[in-house]
Structure 1
Amino acid sequence: MTLNPSSERNRIVVLNRWSDDFAAYHRYIDHTAHDVAYVCTPNGAAALAAPHIAHVEHVPDFVDERALHEAVLACSAALGGIDRLIALSEFDLMAAARLRNAFGIFGDRPFTVVRFRDKAVMKRAVAAADLRVPRFVAMKDVVFRDPKLIGAMRFPLILKPRSGAASAGVRRVDTRAQLDALWPTLPLADYECEEYIEGTIYHVDGFVAGGAFAIARASRYVNTCLDFAQGKPLGSVMLDPGPLNDALLTFARACLHALALSDGAFHIEIIDGVDGLYFLEVGARVGGGEIPFLFRDLYGVDLFHLWVAQQSGDKAHFDARLAATRAVSASPRRGGFLMLPEPIGSRFVDAELPEGIAALYHAILPKRDHVFEGKGGYDTILARFRYRGTSEDEIAAAIDATLREFRFTLTDVVTSMNRGGPLDDLRDCTPRPT
């Protein structure tokens, strides 16, 4: 979000919790041109592959910010100071901002990051720019200021953790009786409440530089992130060029301007309601799930690489990546993804991938005998599929065909084996009409 590139050698600290391909910092940062230290969880440390690491600190997790502070202090001592602090996980952005404050490191501070982590704060900023948002209220305002605020809102309501992600902890409430029953169970100071807006949900992903899109793609969700959290498939289809695509990009750009995000990665979600587009939420980070892989596979754009180049302050490296991104931004290629959630309590035996679906180019399945415990997130789930083609309709048809034809074998952890497909084993998985 803050851009101040430099051509000098920088002392860089990276906060890394990831153990997969997202932790490819050896590809993103020239460790011979900069002095790079890492603060890692145990899994994150195992993923480091750079040959010239100046220092590594280990912490059990990133929840204890006092321990995190001590680890960064040790890195500072080893490097002789810190010029840049990089964090890529959405869950670490605020901790990184507080660390920059504490150590006087250039970059985003808490007052900036809060606009992209607190759902009530981001909606206020967007609404102040005369852009549509669902009617909402921070629950602490109901508790401590005005109990009548909820009464002025229309059911259904959506209750969300203000700083949550991936629909974790999100609840739909259809009646006052349901709300009254749920109320005592919620940490109200950490929640917001908003009116449910009927309509198709879209997401816009990409990278903005100097207030302009370096690359951006608008996509339509097949089902929703909340559906996925409740056991249904989640898909996405990139839109063809046209009036709807243009309207979504224009609206997304206006929202980012209202939020003062002029440089960095972004993922923004938008509802197409009966009376127009509504801002839902935004992240100042690379979109999750298969989104970064689609940008890489379709356009050769590694959004994480671009984002790290921006955060590291390496001007020459960032300028080169940015120019390459802009050069492919008008590509006509379109893509999409499908993710099948964990069948919790089951063991994976095998699967038969569908044949004859031309747009389906990549599938990821669990290892044999993997037990689904509900901890897979968007990663270790029943199946992940990626698609590429020349049109929105081609991708949508391929997703529908995959849902019909994919077959897998599971065994219950405590009972006998069952064979089936998404429509048999994942409850009601039928996607929204395309």
Structure 2
Amino acid sequence: MRHVLVFAKTPHATTPYEQWLAGTGIEPVVLTTREHAAGYGHLRHVHAFDDYDTNQLVEKTALRLARELDVDAIFARAESDVLRAAQLRDLLDLPGQRTASARAFRDKVVMKDHLAGGPVEVPAYRLLDSAYTAVEFVAEHGYPVVVKPVSESGSLGARVLRDEADLDAYLAAPWRGTSQIETFVPGAMYHVDGLVRDGEPVFVRPFRYLNDCLSFRSDHWMGSVPLAPGDPYHARLVDAARAVLAQLPTPERTTFHAEFWITPDDRTVFCEIASRTGGGMVARAVRHAFGIDLDKEWLYAECGLPASSGGPAPRPAGGLWIPPSSGVLEHLPTESAPDCVLEAAHTGRAGQVFHGGVKSGLFLAGYVVGGESEEDVAANMEKVAAWFAGAVRWRPADSPDAAGPVDAPEAAGATP
């Protein structure tokens, strides 16, 4: 029996590793959050942790288990696990992404250092190592500028500074970790998702965002729809993603989630890329739209297994995710969704207290929405979002029968 060590920050319903590996002779060894432990409880090797992202007992336990069970592959799909998995591969000399590659896909400054001067335009940027750097960068490039953490996902901590007052407000209460500053890029944002096998991108598909990655801050929904092959931006975005992957120390096998702007003057500008599957409803939408389960295929690649077969018949479909509002969730609609809903995911329960959206990849309700075309899918998303807004019920957080406060729930991944 072979073993694969899995850093599992997703619920079992989303990533049923033992079902995917059934009949392969490979058994998953799972390290997961306390929240998701019950879902994996029927497996032989399950270890759950509080404060999963920062608890270093995760690494210690992973090393012990990898040695005891002679693990020969490591799988980690969450942004917070990319580096810890790479460091473990280095230590044990196991195949897969190593630390230098993980840093290039995690650290936005290292990432842009690899890409600057290449075929895809990169915004002007600098490591924000002090307030002096911010002042000098603004003096050189003018407003607006964007400040964001170098290694967070889902637009967490990102700030657009449009004038001196915005800069002063940021400097008075800066992000607690390391940040970068870059020029603001106007335009529409797109994401490109895919799979790399044996060093080659074997699946690359571009999507158009509806709304934007900061919509969650106003408790507004966001989503994305795949571009049709005949769309004028389809080939451009595929080529841009392939060029970025070629410049970075891309792992031999990985999924990826890249973001680009198309500017009003028709330039393609790089935003960022991650060596993992997109968050929100991206993976589910890909499965419905293209008949491929990115996480399953990535797991198979990491384990040295041939590509699997099967999946739903491809059809036009996109992902819609809705953040929580502020207050007590009184009623979460889980039935009577419009007929265009192909799949639904809910992460909250009545009685929970929420404080609005936390990051773009985390949602209260997510839907895969179908249609006859890209335009039809986008129109149906508007319809589903309006249905949800009319059916969900909230009450003020100071209501006497409110349950204890919680943050926005962890969905099936980090960011889009």
TM superposition score category, shorter chain reference? 0.7 to 0.9
Q: Which of residues 261, 276, 280 is equivalent to 1:271?
A: 261
Q: Which residue of structure 2 aligns with residue 341 of structure 1? A: 323
CA displacement 1:202-257 (0-9 Å, x = unmatched)? 01112122454322221111111112233221121211222211111111111111
1:304, distance to aligned residue in structure 2 (A): 0.7
For residues 73 and 367 of structure 1, the distance between their equivalents in structure 2, rounded to whole angstroms, comes to 34
The answer (yes or no) to whether the contact 1:123–1:279 under 8 Å persists in 2 is no
Corresponding residue for residue 223 of structure 2: 235
**Structure 2 CA distance for partners of 1:344 and 1:72, relative to 1, 3 Å:** same
Aligned residues of 2:127 and 2:179 also touching (Cα < 8 A)? yes
| Structure 1 residues 101-157: Cα deviation after superposition (integer angstroms, max 9, x where no partner) | 2333332221110111111111221223232011111102x5688963342123111
Q: Which AA in structure 1 matches 2:382?
A: D
Query: Which of 200, 207, 224 is the equivalent residue of 2:188?
Result: 200
Contact 1:219 1:239 in 2 (8 A): yes
Alpha-carbon separation, structure 2, partners of 1:410 and 1:352: 12
Going from structure 1 to structure 2, the CA distance change for 1:358 and 1:44 (only over 3 Å counts) comes to closer
2:412 corresponds to which residue? none
Q: Distance in 2 between matches of 1:118 and 1:191?
A: 10
Query: Does 2:374 correspond to 1:387?
Result: no
1:190 CA displacement? 0.6
Distance 1:100 1:211 in 2: 18
Of the three residues 117, 127, 132, the one matched with 1:138 is 127
Instruction: Name 2:278's counterpart in structure 1.
Output: 287
Whole-angstrom CA distance in 1 between matches of 2:153 and 2:268: 22
Q: Is the 8 A contact 1:58 1:71 kept in 2?
A: no
- Structure 2 partner of 1:298: 289
Deviation at 1:82, TM superposition (A): 3.1
Residue identity matched to 1:43:
E
Question: What SS is found at the alignment partner of 1:270?
Answer: strand
**1:360-418 Cα deviation digits (max 9, x unpaired):** 333445666242414786687453222123321111221233344541242414578xx
Aligned to 1:3: none
Match of 1:396 in 2: 378
Q: 1:185: how far off? A: 1.9
1:306 Cα deviation after fit: 0.7
Residue of structure 2 aligned with 1:156, choices 127, 144, 155: 144
In structure 2, give the amino acid aligned to 1:138: L
Relative to 1, partners in 2 of residues 1:153 and 1:26: Cα closer, same or farther, differing over 3 Å?
A: same
Distance in 2 between residues matched to 1:134 and 1:239, nearest whole Å? 24
Partner SS, residue 338 of structure 1: strand
Distance 1:180 1:260, change over 3 A: same
Q: Distance in 1 between matches of 2:134 and 2:162?
A: 22
Partner of residue 16, structure 1: 8
Question: The residue matched to 2:6 in structure 1 has which SS?
Answer: strand
- Residue 72 (str. 1) matches residue 62 (str. 2): yes
Structure 1 counterpart of 2:40, from 48, 53, 58:
48
For the residues of structure 2 that align with 1:352 and 1:104, how far apart are their CA atoms? 46
Output the amino acid matched with 1:320.
A
Alpha-carbon distance in 2 for matches of 1:73, 1:131 = 39
**1:60 matched to which residue of 2?**
50
CA shift in 2, pair 1:353/1:46, >3 Å = closer
Query: What is the TM-score normalised by the length of structure 2?
Result: 0.84
Structure 2: unaligned runs, 5 residues or longer = 400-416
Task: Note if contact 1:203-1:220 (Cα within 8 Å) is conserved in structure 2.
Answer: yes
Report the residue type matching 1:111 in the other structure: A
Cα separation, partners in 2 of 1:84 and 1:222, compared to 1, 3 Å: same
CA RMSD of aligned residues (A): 3.1
Give 2:302's aligned residue: 311
> Given that residues 196 and 202 in structure 2 are in contact (C-alpha distance below 8 angstroms), is that contact kept between their aligned partners in structure 1?
yes
1:168–1:229 Cα contact (<8 Å) kept: no
Task: Kindly indicate whether the alpha-carbon contact (under 8 Å) linking 2:79 and 2:276 is maintained by their aligned counterparts in 1.
Answer: yes
Say if 1:399 and 1:64 are closer, same or farther in 2 by CA, change over 3 A. closer
Do structure 1's residue 369 and structure 2's residue 350 form an aligned pair?
yes
Does the residue aligned with 2:319 lie in a helix, a strand or coil? strand
Instruction: Count how many residue pairs are aligned between Structure 1 and Structure 2.
Output: 394
Identity %: 26
Distance 2:257 2:162 in 1: 28
Assess, with a 3 A threshold, how the Cα gap between structure 1 residues 359 and 18 changes in structure 2: closer, same or farther: closer
Which has the larger displacement, 177-186 or 364-373? 364-373
Q: Distance in 2 between matches of 1:370 and 1:378?
A: 23
Partner Cα separation in structure 2 for residue 57 and residue 176 of structure 1: 49
Deviation track 1:294-346 (CA, whole Å, cap 9, x = no partner) reads 1223333111111111122x3xx3x232xx48x99xx8732112222211113
Larger helix share, 1 or 2? 1
Whether 1:109 and 2:98 are equivalent positions in the alignment is yes
Inter-CA distance 136–380: structure 2 relative to 1 (3 Å threshold): closer
Question: Which runs of 5 or more residues in structure 1 are unaligned?
Answer: 1-8, 417-434
Output the CA distance in 1 between the equivalents of 2:248 and 2:135: 29
Q: CA deviation at 1:32?
A: 6.7
Q: TM-score, normalised by structure 1?
A: 0.81
Please say which of residues 150-159 and 191-200 is displaced more in the overlay: 150-159
Report if the CA contact (8 A) 2:333-2:391 is conserved: yes
Q: Compute the displacement of 1:201 (Å).
A: 0.3
